[in-house]
Amino acid sequence: MKIALAQQNYHIGNFDLNVQKIISGIQEAKKQGADLVIFSELCVCGYPPRDFLEFNDFINQCYQALDTIKEHADTIGVLVGAPARNPNFEGKDLFNAAYLLYEKEIKAEVHKTLLPTYDVFDEGRYFEPAYDWNVVPFKGKKLAVTICEDIWNMGENPLYRITPMEKLIQFEPDVIINLSASPYNYAQDVVRNGIVKAHTLKYKLPMFYCNTVGSQTEIVFDGGSLVYDSAGNQVAELKYFEEDFGVFELDDLIKETSPQSEDSVKIYYSASEVSAGRDVLEYLKDEKNIAEIRSALVLGIRDYFSKMGFTKAILGSSGGIDSAVTLALAVEALGQENVRAILMPSHFSTSHSISDAEALSQNLQNPYDIIPIKNIYDSFLTELKPIFQDLPFSVAEENIQSRTRGNLLMAIANKFGYILLNTSNKSELATGYGTLYGDMAGGLSVLGDVYKTQVYALARLINKEKEVIPHHILVKAPSAELRPNQKDSDSLPEYDELDTILFKYIEERQGPKELIAQGFDETLVNRILRLVNMNEYKRNQFCPIIRVSYKAFGVGRRLPIVAKYLS
């Protein structure tokens, strides 16, 4: 039996586009002589559909799409993902389902058992878990069909009481198939391969794993669909961050040789296991991780614009590292002519900030404008003089500059239909080092899940073949330039130390006692953790952040604003 994997980029709620893609995948599978073609989880409607699932019309359109697709499943079997209505009165109204379409009919309907409710997932809000488990017969083979999380209940600390494959293995299946929508983080490829390999070793069966690709607002799906033989060997891995297609002979994946022992290979079951025991800065700046992050951010920008129907971006270009990297990535994603940089110097700006920003745009060949803000800033102070009187210069005057820049950027964006890209990095967002409605304004955050040390690593990668980002931007001390001779280090610890503590607290969820026991200064730890927790209110008002780590700010990290813990 020939089985095809169709790794595709869907658009949530765009049924016409999704159906067209699926039909195109079916046609390609037929052309290559496949008996069965596998698509990804909830491919009919796009993942994650979230509260769209609460609309009856949305579910009706899912069923209408299935009716259209099954007309093309005549001589070939088709496995697609879509919601299914629950006929039982008890429980949630929907299942997360996989449908086997063949001979223009729905031959089988498989329901997802394990419904994740951690990090960016909230499936228990919408779906009822499966009631029963059966293999799917097809052309003389028994298919053990699972959906995404159904294969992730492995390791020393499983999250669920039921493991679907333990139910399905009783029916002696011939192959494991998984329809997935597994989001990217820079450890996910290692974990994903580990999970799939663990299944082939444990159950002595070949496995087909079909993942989606593309970005849905803040969540990036990286593809990397897999085929493993029954001896635990990777046979194929589809492309990362782009659509791909492959056809494989099932019989070639069934090995008579002795499979590898489960104990003979190191298998990672979680992202935290991948980073455990490694030097934090070394891990954050790992060349492979940085290259993946670059690809993920470019895909995130490109898909956000294309799926929202926008073409042009704008951003504030300060001559600093964050805006430089954001600009370079945006140009890579959207094209140089579609990214406009605005330089907004104040009387606190250094001359090299302007020249560095100009040199960057000249290297990238993107349009840019210079709008000095001194006169606007001075007019604010004049109008505020009766209230401010002779109080000393403070953060209030600093924030007026930042909000002036935000107003100018949004005015231009409104006038010409641009989307403002935010340039704040994760280190700044974590510690609240930013101005609400000023430099925190934007429609999409490019670097909000990228620590400052990683931003520098991205810049070096961008410059690997030729100097795109001027060298001076990489070597000068970072500064907001909102007061004379200001440096980030005046307000924050050095980024190497700051990012190490932030990663251990945010990603690894280590508390103050654990951090202090590792040798970090107690005063510094308490200060940093307090900054993180007391600035939740700022992040709560922030724009969507492209997610590249396994614990990003936004929908995947839910903390109360009005709280006392560590603040």
Average pLDDT, the chain: 95
**Mean of pLDDT values over 529-540:** 96
In percent, how much of the chain has pLDDT > 90? 92
Give the side-chain half-sphere CA count within 13 A for 509: 8
Is residue 317 marked as binding?
A: yes
Is residue 496 marked as binding?
A: no
Indicate if 41 belongs to the active site.
yes
Is residue 182 marked as binding?
A: yes
Class for the domain spanning 280-490: alpha beta
- Residue 156 identity (one-letter amino acid): E
Is residue 47 marked as binding?
A: no
Distance between CA 37 and CA 245 in Å, rounded?
10
pLDDT tier at 15 (50, 70, 90 boundaries)? Answer: very high
Two tokens at 286?
Answer: 């790992």
Q: What is the pLDDT of residue 155?
A: 85
Distance of CA 119 to the CA centre of its chain: 11
Is residue 318 marked as binding?
A: yes
Is residue 321 marked as binding?
A: yes
Distance between CA 323 and CA 16 in Å, rounded?
37
**Mean of pLDDT values over 305-334:** 97
**Mean of pLDDT values over 106-129:** 97
Cα distance from N-terminal residue to C-terminal residue, the chain: 60
Query: Is the per-residue pLDDT at 482 higher than 90?
Result: no
Q: Among 201, 250, 193, 253, which residue's Cα sits nearest to residue 222?
A: 193
**What is the DSSP secondary structure assignment for residue 393, as one 8-state letter?**
P
Q: What is the pLDDT of residue 483?
A: 66
Same CATH fold assignment for domains 2-275 and 280-490: no
Query: Is the per-residue pLDDT at 406 higher than 90?
Result: yes
Query: Is the per-residue pLDDT at 349 higher than 80?
Result: no
**Mean of pLDDT values over 230-238:** 97
Distance between CA 475 and CA 467 in Å, rounded?
13
Q: Among 331, 318, 308, 301, which residue's Cα sits nearest to residue 450?
A: 301
Is residue 295 marked as binding?
A: no
Is residue 316 marked as binding?
A: yes
**Candidates 112, 197, 452, 504; catalytic one:** 112
Distance of CA 201 to the CA centre of its chain: 29
329 compared with 485, residue with greater pLDDT: 329
Give residue-wise pLDDT tens across range 245-303.
999 999 999 987 555 655 567 899 999 999 998 999 999 999 999 999 999 999 999 99
482 compared with 176, residue with greater pLDDT: 176
Give residue-wise pLDDT tens across range 450-464.
999 999 999 999 999
**Candidates 43, 148, 210, 543; catalytic one:** 148
Q: Among 450, 422, 453, 447, which residue's Cα sits nearest to residue 541?
A: 422
**Mean of pLDDT values over 198-209:** 97
Please report, for the chain, the start and end positions of each structural domain, with discontinuous segments joined by +: 2-275, 280-490
Is residue 93 marked as binding?
A: no
Q: Which of 254-263, 264-273, 323-332, 515-524 has the lowest mean pLDDT?
A: 254-263
Indicate if 71 belongs to the active site.
no
Q: What is the pLDDT of residue 264?
A: 63
Q: What is the pLDDT of residue 210?
A: 98
**Candidates 41, 128, 149, 397; catalytic one:** 41
Fold for domain 2-275?
Answer: Nitrilase/N-carbamoyl-D-aminoacid amidohydrolase (3.60.110)
Distance between CA 288 and CA 286 in Å, rounded?
6
pLDDT tier at 436 (50, 70, 90 boundaries)? Answer: very high
Q: Which residues have C-beta within 8 Å of that of residue 256, sequence separation ≥ 6?
A: none
Q: What is the pLDDT of residue 258?
A: 59
Indicate if 148 belongs to the active site.
yes
In percent, how much of the chain has pLDDT > 70? 98
Q: What is the pLDDT of residue 263?
A: 58
**Mean of pLDDT values over 303-329:** 97
Is residue 438 marked as binding?
A: no
Give residue-wise pLDDT tens across range 34-62.
999 999 999 999 999 999 999 999 999 99
419 in Cβ contact with 310 (< 8 Å): yes
Is residue 322 marked as binding?
A: yes
**Mean of pLDDT values over 167-176:** 98
Give SS3 for 478: coil
